[in-house]
Amino acid sequence: MKVGRAEAARWSGALDLLKLVRARPGITRAEAARDLGVGSGTATDISARLRAIDLLAERPAPPTGRGRPTTTLHAHPDGPLAAVVDVRQSDWRVALADLEGGLAETVAGRHPSKRPGRVFDAVGEVVRDLAERHGGRVRAVSVSTAGTVRHGRIEQASVLNWRDVEVPPLLPGVPQVIGNDATLAGLAEARLAHPGESVLFLKIETGIGGIFVDGGRAVTGASGAGGEFGHAPFGDPAVRCPCGATGCWDVAVDGRAVARLRGEPEPDDPRAYLIDALVEPGARAAVAECAAVLGRGAAGLVNVFDPAVVSLGGLAPELHRAAEDAFAEAYEAGLMGFRRDDPPRLSNSALGPDASLLGAAEAAFDLILSEHGIAAWTEERSS
């Protein structure tokens, strides 16, 4: 059945309104009409149609003086949900996200085994249980993983000792998307904390990762594996990285680097080691060296991508704070001369430990808020 131009335009307007409510939950219907460039009658008609199929809810807006009363727009309490998953070095988390981006019903677990099958069996059981309890409202699954993702597969996850892993469908019959944890965290940071700006996001946990987000889209390259900043040659060329390359930035800024600079063995938990080292007087020189390497690499990426904002996530803000002078000196020295008078804003991540889950929710709702996704929801709600 062909869709006429008028009907297509109506649903295009509906998608635009849903995306606006996702970006600005609680926006008034009058504000939405102005932002979308439509009349109040059109906005009223679109929101009524979306209410009728459980996609939007409206609440009376607080009175602001003269003029017609309006409403605020929100996620419908029976609207679509995304199941979001974050698979990390030693544990995992699963949560549900709604149109407004809130996370709920979070379930966490540790890896009894790091074998991929065991990990995804445990995660899939939780996802299916959540979906069953919500009666078909889960419309997409989004997986964040601490590894390189290419063509929808986990090519390499050094912290998990995984190579060439295919993630099974965690909720059969429902669309699923997979992304690198730092990529998704950066996507959320850009869209939610710096909307409309180009953002270079850098995150230190075990190693360093990140992404450049421009126009609200993560720049991940031809196969989805872009943004592996940790494997740029910003480190010591004599040091081999678990990825197989030498000189990687990944092993030059985290707890492994601090331990190596102090003449100590590689720690079992590099993240915990770095947290302790940041406040240990005997580790100051090593911490300062890692901060300088972070600043030098950040400057190189600024020269490449020309962002408006450099956002630091994970333990990067703490490393920067612990050796601010070393970071600043290396960062300024690494910038091209014309950038030094007006460098990008340096900002700490506003999203905290939920950044990767929030990014997974962004990727999931990119699927849900599509013509195909809304058409499938509408068909089910109208039958």
Residue found under tokens 């999203």:
351
Residue 348 lies in a domain: yes
Q: Which domain holds residue 43?
A: 5-75
**Rg value, the chain, Cα:** 23
Assess whether 229 and 257 both reside in one domain.
yes
Amino acid at 372: H
Residue 266 lies in a domain: yes
Q: Which of the listed residues 19, 54, 75 is the one where a domain comes to its end? A: 75
Assess whether 27 and 176 both reside in one domain.
no
d(CA 35, CA 195): 15
Please give the pLDDT value at position 64: 66
Assess whether 198 and 343 both reside in one domain.
yes
- DSSP string of 36-102, one letter each residue: HT--HHHHHHHHHHHHHTTSEEEEEPPP-SSS---EEEEE-TTS-EEEEEEE-SSEEEEEEE-TT--
Amino acid at 346: L
Assess whether 106 and 200 both reside in one domain.
no
Assess whether 256 and 333 both reside in one domain.
yes
Please give the pLDDT value at position 158: 82
Please give the pLDDT value at position 366: 96
- DSSP string of 210-221, one letter each residue: EEEEETTEE--T
In this structure, what DSSP letter does residue 193 have? Answer: I
- Which residue, 94, 112, 115, is CA-closest to 157? 115
CA distances from 44 to 4, 55, 120 (A): 21, 14, 44
Please give the pLDDT value at position 71: 86
Assess whether 231 and 268 both reside in one domain.
yes
Please give the pLDDT value at position 223: 87
Tokens of 47: 């929101």
Please give the distance of CA 126 from its chain centroid, rounded to a whole number.
Answer: 21
Assess whether 313 and 370 both reside in one domain.
no
d(CA 149, CA 166): 10
Please give the pLDDT value at position 67: 59
Q: Sheet containing 309-314: which strands, arranged edge to edge? A: 217-218, 207-214, 199-205, 309-314, 345-348
Please give the pLDDT value at position 349: 94
Q: Which of the listed residues 17, 52, 75 is the one where a domain comes to its end? A: 75
β-partners of residue 362 are none
Residue 297 lies in a domain: yes
Assess whether 255 and 346 both reside in one domain.
yes
How many structural domains comprise the chain? 3
Please give the pLDDT value at position 3: 45
Assess whether 282 and 366 both reside in one domain.
no
Residue 189 lies in a domain: no
CATH code for the domain of 222 = 3.30.420.40
Please give the pLDDT value at position 224: 87
| Length of the chain (residues) | 383
Per-residue pLDDT of the chain (383 residues; tens, 9 = 90+): 344 455 555 566 899 999 999 999 999 999 999 999 999 899 999 999 999 999 999 998 877 666 567 789 999 999 999 999 999 988 999 999 999 989 999 999 999 898 999 999 999 999 999 999 999 999 999 999 988 999 989 998 888 889 999 999 999 999 999 999 999 999 999 999 999 999 999 999 989 999 999 999 999 999 888 888 999 999 999 999 988 899 999 999 999 999 999 999 999 999 999 999 999 999 999 999 999 999 999 999 999 999 999 999 999 999 999 999 999 999 999 999 999 999 999 999 999 889 999 999 999 999 999 989 998 998 888 76
Planar angle of CA 94, 99, 102, nearest 5 degrees: 50
Please give the distance of CA 7 from its chain centroid, rounded to a whole number.
Answer: 33
In this structure, what DSSP letter does residue 343 have? Answer: P
CA distances from 88 to 92, 199, 201 (A): 6, 24, 19
Residue 200 lies in a domain: yes
Residue 230 lies in a domain: yes
Please give the pLDDT value at position 381: 82
Assess whether 256 and 306 both reside in one domain.
yes
- Which residue, 287, 266, 83, is CA-closest to 158? 266
Residue 245 lies in a domain: yes
Q: Which of the listed residues 14, 43, 75 is the one where a domain comes to its end? A: 75
CATH code for the domain of 33 = 1.10.10.10
Tokens of 368: 């849900």
Residue 233 lies in a domain: yes
Report whether 114 contacts 160 (CB < 8 A). yes
Report whether 171 contacts 141 (CB < 8 A). yes
d(CA 333, CA 335): 6
Residue found under tokens 């904390």:
193
Assess whether 229 and 362 both reside in one domain.
no
Please give the pLDDT value at position 65: 60
Assess whether 176 and 256 both reside in one domain.
no
β-partners of residue 55 are none
